[in-house]
Structure 1
Amino acid sequence: MTQDNARGTAGASPASRIGGVWQQAFRLVPGIALAGVIALAATFVARLHGGPQLLYALMFGVAFNYLSHESRTRPGIEFSGRMVLRLGVGLLGARITAAQIIGLGWETALTVVAATVTTVLCGLAVGRWLGMSRAQGVLSGGAVAICGASAALAISAVLPREKGGDRFTLMVVVAVTVMSTLAMIFYPLIARLLHLPPPLAGLFLGGTIHDVAQVVGAGYTLGPDAGDAATIVKLFRVSLLTVVVVVVSAAFKQERERALREHAAGGEPVRQALVPWFLWMFIAMVVLNSLGALSLPVQSVANDCSRACLVVAIAALGMKTSFHELARLGWRPLALIAIETVWIAAFVLAVVAWGR
């Protein structure tokens, strides 16, 4: 928003501001309704024929990818893939208690931290070998290690400007979404093949899959226990975003300041919270549930709302997944993210195998 627009909005009457809010809300309706219809179709097929509801929603969404570029449906699809997703994950805290988190143990926390650090280092080493910059290695490694597209956007905000930097960030977002989608499909099969118990299956899925939605989708296909464990592990990974962004910001401080001196600022910087609000919501729900403040009916409603939000969000994420865009971005960035994905999966699987 420009300063003139900001002054105009500030000077507008309450009725005008309310009208503007409603206008923005109406722009979201077509895309949200589309994602909702796909979610309902996935739910119907899952109940009629069996199978994972979330996976059906994802596949049906991919079939309607072209609608994510339509001006009428795009805002609502974007909203469903971000805000509805985060609301669904935040509400998941209503079924988890602090005792369950403590029950994961220090070994799980240490495994997640080690996997995060080594994956970022892997991105630096392999990126250099492929002829990429240090910033590109950190960006891709951080996205794979923490939470996919959200981590990529957060980390890119503290990296210095580079030629083609925006394009590389877009590639990372697309690639980690595709890799995470594939992981959502195949990693539960690996867990079943290895006969992993729910806690170890949750560690494997939550510690390796990039995006929160796909972790939830993969985890709950193996049952509620594995889904809860995977969600807790994943949200612990998300909480590491704060530390990683601060470290990256400090490491690239001089380069970033030099780049800013060379390029005139195009506008006021946008400040984003390092710890996403849905993580705070998740923690608040866990605390309330741990204190016994949530009755069984409230927990049931929260769980149903969470499930509905996640199905809608995954349908939207499916519509945003495009394999054509990925094919036009070259093989080296994709190879880098694929290697990082294999690394973190192999690392966590090795720890799981050693701990059995």
Structure 2
Amino acid sequence: MNSLATPVASGSAPANQTRGQLNGILFVALFAAAVTQLSALPFIANLGLSPLIVGIVAGAIYGNALRDGMPESWASGINFSARKLLRIAVGFFGLRVSLQEIAQVGLPGLTVSVLVVVSTLAIGTWAGMKLMKLDRDTALLTAAGSAICGAAAVLAFESTLQSEPHKSAMAVGSVVLFGTLSMFLYPLVVHLGWLHLDTLGVGLFFGGTIHEVAQVVGAASNVSPEATHIATIVKMTRVMLLVPVLLVIGMWVNRARNNGLTDDSGTTGTKGKLAIPWFALGFLALVIVNSLHVLPAPATHTLNTLDTFALTMAMTALGIETRIAQIRQAGPRALMTGAIVYAWLIGGGLAITFGVERLLG
């Protein structure tokens, strides 16, 4: 009888694991649905806080205060949402960008985007590692969130670097703080006449230096519809740069590993395959699909809505996996890195905007 019982027990283990993973994914989906409703409340929406940001905050609160009540078998579902679902969702983010829109702002928009992204990544990484003594991943995540597209960039870099969740949480915190500040500060200085920029200049500056897409739209809409249109396109041009930047970062990380350099955990890297972020190539493919207008507009809208929900699930799962004690260790230094990057975005971004508009505008 025992010999018959053993196969049943061993066969039920994988089934229980699968059931636990599905329950974990369902839990994250329900959590993300609640977060989506919460982020739609007027006082949150008016702050430009996307469901992604609300999701990581709410997830972190749950993960640190209530996670003990969650079955351990659900952990694999949480991890799936924070890793594999994340890659798929970042890939589908490409349906929000089209080559035609980017062409509308032409060479000035592309030049501002490239200069801001490259300089911000370099300065943010250098300031984080050399001045603030942060580990490589935290410095890169903080710089990427500011340089490219806020929380979505943090998610994409987190997937490529395979870093720990609390490092992503710190980077997103920087996006929330300084991106929200920009929504109020940028329109104010324009209305006070402190920025001597025309409509094109305002669009280039707002779209080239504000963190999140929603924050760009929120800030520019307080200036003019024309500035909002230009700023949004410039911002989406920065989003497009996510693909080449991730490919370069993947090659850099792989070379450091192959050269046996010490990573941020203090262990020596081992030789491995090239860390190509395939989801970034999927992102680029879907940009092309969107540019060719292969999909009907309602289908694209539906896919974008589902993609936002999937990204919210990923952010919520990352929040659940985040531990406040880990954030405390590097919190002030990560925040200072974000402040340094923000100062560069304002000062350096203005200089880049003035220069590009004078030469190419």
Please state whether the residue corresponding to 1:240 is helix, strand or coil: helix
How far residue 263 of structure 1 moved from its aligned partner, in angstroms, is 6.5
- Distance, in Å, in 2 between the alignment partners of 1:258 and 1:170 is 22
**For this pair of structures, how many residues does the alignment match?**
320
Residue ranges of structure 2 left out of the alignment (5+ in a row): 1-9, 192-196, 222-227
Q: Residue by residue, what CA displacement relative to the aligned partner does 1:106-150 show, whole Å, maximum 9, x if unpaired?
A: 333333333344335435654676384896897467545453354
Aligned to 2:247: 242
How far residue 198 of structure 1 moved from its aligned partner, in angstroms, is 8.7
The 1:110–1:259 alpha-carbon spacing in structure 2 relative to 1, beyond 3 Å, is same
Aligned to 2:298: 297
Decide whether the 8 Å contact of 2:147 with 2:209 is kept in 1: yes
How far residue 179 of structure 1 moved from its aligned partner, in angstroms, is 0.4
How far residue 191 of structure 1 moved from its aligned partner, in angstroms, is 3.8
The 1:121–1:220 alpha-carbon spacing in structure 2 relative to 1, beyond 3 Å, is closer
Please state whether the residue corresponding to 1:293 is helix, strand or coil: coil
Q: Which amino acid aligns with 2:276?
A: A
Query: Does 2:351 align with 1:346?
Result: no
Query: Does 2:32 align with 1:35?
Result: yes
How far residue 227 of structure 1 moved from its aligned partner, in angstroms, is 4.4
The 1:124–1:105 alpha-carbon spacing in structure 2 relative to 1, beyond 3 Å, is same
How far residue 203 of structure 1 moved from its aligned partner, in angstroms, is 5.1
Aligned to 2:168: 173
- Distance, in Å, in 2 between the alignment partners of 1:330 and 1:95 is 33
For 1:318-337, what aligned pairs fall within 5 Å after superposition?
325-329=326-330, 331-337=332-338
- State TM-score, norm by structure 2: 0.65
For 1:136-147, what aligned pairs fall within 5 Å after superposition?
139=140, 143=144, 145=147, 147=153
Query: Does 2:154 align with 1:148?
Result: yes
Aligned to 1:24: 21
How far residue 284 of structure 1 moved from its aligned partner, in angstroms, is 2.9
How far residue 38 of structure 1 moved from its aligned partner, in angstroms, is 2.2
Please state whether the residue corresponding to 1:292 is helix, strand or coil: coil
The 1:237–1:303 alpha-carbon spacing in structure 2 relative to 1, beyond 3 Å, is closer
For 1:43-192, what aligned pairs fall within 5 Å after superposition?
43=40, 45-46=41-42, 51-52=45-46, 55=49, 57=51, 58-59=53-54, 62=57, 65-69=60-64, 70=67, 71-72=70-71, 80=81, 87=88, 90-94=91-95, 96-123=97-124, 126=127, 130=131, 132=133, 139=140, 143=144, 145=147, 147-148=153-154, 150-151=156-157, 154=160, 172-192=167-187
Q: Among residues 213, 231, 234, which one is paired with 2:236 in the alignment?
A: 231
The 1:294–1:117 alpha-carbon spacing in structure 2 relative to 1, beyond 3 Å, is closer
- Distance, in Å, in 2 between the alignment partners of 1:60 and 1:140 is 18
Query: Does 2:283 align with 1:282?
Result: yes
The 1:230–1:83 alpha-carbon spacing in structure 2 relative to 1, beyond 3 Å, is farther
Please state whether the residue corresponding to 2:294 is helix, strand or coil: coil
User: Percent identity between the aligned chains?
Assistant: 22
Decide whether the 8 Å contact of 1:91 with 1:285 is kept in 2: yes
How far residue 294 of structure 1 moved from its aligned partner, in angstroms, is 1.6
Q: Residue by residue, what CA displacement relative to the aligned partner does 1:211-248 show, whole Å, maximum 9, x if unpaired?
A: xxxx2332444568454542332231443121244346
- Distance, in Å, in 2 between the alignment partners of 1:317 and 1:280 is 23
How far residue 34 of structure 1 moved from its aligned partner, in angstroms, is 1.3
Residue ranges of structure 1 left out of the alignment (5+ in a row): 1-11, 158-165
Decide whether the 8 Å contact of 2:217 with 2:232 is kept in 1: yes
The 1:352–1:91 alpha-carbon spacing in structure 2 relative to 1, beyond 3 Å, is same
- Distance, in Å, in 2 between the alignment partners of 1:78 and 1:346 is 39
- State TM-score, norm by structure 1: 0.65
